[in-house]
Amino acid sequence: MNAPASTALQQEIAQLIIDTLNLEDLTPADIPPEQPLFGQGLGLDSVDALELALALQKRYAIRIASDDKDARRHFATVASLAAFVETQQQAACAG
């Protein structure tokens, strides 16, 4: 069974990861939406997470609390990041 095609937002976030972390040898297609971003997956570390959080906040005008206990879950994969960004944007529009 094939993995579901990534959404435009997921591709955008994959490109943001590449641009932010200077991963020039990768393309968004090289980062499947469900691939772990840390550890055995893409191999990002805590410094990468901070840079990525700043880039996401800047690009999508969202707020990521440094003490958010769910941050690790949000940053697990491109798919979870895209879902988090969508939720944050919806909350901002509703508020």
Query: What is the C-alpha to C-alpha distance for residues 88 and 85, in angstroms, rounded to an integer?
Result: 5
pLDDT in tens, 5-21: 579 999 999 999 999 99
Cβ atoms within 10 Å, residue 85: 21
Q: Which helix (H) or strand (E) holds 29?
A: none
Q: Which residue ranges form the domains of the chain, and what is each CATH number? A: 35-95 (1.10.1200)
The 3-state DSSP class for residue 38 equals strand
pTM listed for this prediction:
0.88
Residue 3's pLDDT band (boundaries 50, 70, 90)? very low
